[in-house]
Amino acid sequence: MASSPPNNKLKITSAHGAGGKYSHDLIKRVFLKHFDNPPLRELLDSAILPEIRGRLVFTTDSHVVQPLFFPGGDIGKLAVSGTVNDLAVCGARPLWLSCGMIIEEGFEIETLEKIVISMQKTAQSAGVQIVTGDTKVVGHGEADGLFINTAGIGYLPENRNIAKSLITPGDKIILNGFIGDHAAAIIKARHQFQIDLDIISDCAPLNNLTEVLYENITGIRIMRDPTRGGLATTLNEFLDGNRFGMRISEEFVPIRNVVQGLCEPLGFDPFYLANEGKVVVVVAEKSADKALQTMRSHPLGQNAAIIGEVITKPAGHVLLKTRIGPERVLDMLTGEMLPRIC
């Protein structure tokens, strides 16, 4: 019997995380090669950044998705998009990111480089730079391949304010497109179920879309990207104690047939499925139609819809008007429906 050919691809060793020659070679051959920009090129312990005007906005996020590559994206695209989006929905213009990687010993350098290239392409599309980072190597079997932490800095333009305290009964709730695509793509990639899904993740940076909204729409109260916990959890996060409630209509929430068809046999609720390219916007009633049309004119908002409104009573609850008529309460997600999705 013929033996399998040896795997001669270069792999990460403990020496790549030791801070010596192997570490420096990895930085130059992979990270600096693709992330190259003036602050990073100095290879200092920190990035020295240009002075900017405005309030700074800062965020950080860690990414442990499994598998690392999935239809429509990978952990690198996910990391950049997630951090850019966290800045953008707070009203900020994202500028700079950091990248910290925990890499498992034995991880193929070629695969690592593919992820780094994906990160750079995503950063470029979002108009941000990856200006600093760190690499640690752990033993085989201790990190499931690769974990990534990204932090981001942006600035908040003058007179741009969003807050839960601004939400007012009568405000409209707008969603930029189909929910549940990312979670469905992860399920497809894991091959856990004998289900053939024609679906890709919605993973994408949203800052170009949010910036168009901020620049053209008055009366934006708050935005958020409904990632882990899905749309239902995000709407519950908007609730400011018992000051108001929210009601959405199932018939107006965009859900693909393939996602709905996946949820029914598996017992999933699409309102709790994760998304990585969606934004929920609460906007004054008088601005809602213009905001909707503005969204629909953008590639990432072509399927946008007004899905509901802010109500006075019952306060402190999110209600879903079902297709068949009765209402049900959408609570915040408890437990974990689908682990390791981002």
Angstrom distance (rounded) from CA 130 to CA 99: 7
The domain 14-156 having CATH identifier 3.30.1330.10: the answer here is yes
Angstrom distance (rounded) from CA 209 to CA 339: 29
Unique residue bearing structure tokens 């809602």: 288
Distances (CA, A) of 167 to 131, 223, 225: 36, 11, 17
E-state strands within 157-243: 172-175, 220-224
10 Å CB burial of residue 79 (0-12, 13-18, 19+) is buried
The domain 164-329 having CATH identifier 3.20.20.140: the answer here is no
Sequence-distant (6+) residues with CB within 8 A of 220 are 162, 213, 214, 281, 282, 283, 284, 287, 291
Distances (CA, A) of 244 to 169, 235, 253, 266, 309: 7, 12, 21, 33, 11
pLDDT digits (tens, 9 = 90+) for 231-269: 999 999 999 788 999 999 999 999 999 999 989 888 899
Strands 245-249 and 318-321, by their bridges, are parallel
The pTM for the full model equals 0.95
Q: Are 289 and 235 in contact (CB under 8 A)?
A: no
Locate 244 and state its tokens: 């108001």
pLDDT digits (tens, 9 = 90+) for 26-75: 999 999 999 999 999 999 999 999 999 889 999 999 999 999 999 999 99
Average pLDDT estimate for 95-119 = 98
Residue type, 6: P
- Answer with the residue of higher pLDDT: 7 or 250: 250
C-beta neighbour count of 241 within 10 angstroms? 8
**What pLDDT sits at residue 242?**
80
Does position 7 have pLDDT exceeding 60, yes or no? no
SS3 152: strand
Q: Are 72 and 188 in contact (CB under 8 A)?
A: no
Pick from 269, 256, 248, 258: which is nearest to 323 by CA? 248
pLDDT digits (tens, 9 = 90+) for 141-186: 998 999 999 999 999 999 899 999 999 999 999 999 999 999 999 9
Angstrom distance (rounded) from CA 329 to CA 322: 10
The DSSP result for 268-315, as a single string, is: --GGGS--SS--EEEE-GGGHHHHHHHHHTSGGGTT-EEEEEEESSST
Domain layout of the chain by residue ranges: 14-156, 164-329
- Answer with the residue of higher pLDDT: 6 or 341: 341
Angstrom distance (rounded) from CA 297 to CA 212: 10
Q: What is the chain's mean pLDDT, rounded?
A: 94
pLDDT above 90 coverage of the chain, percent: 86
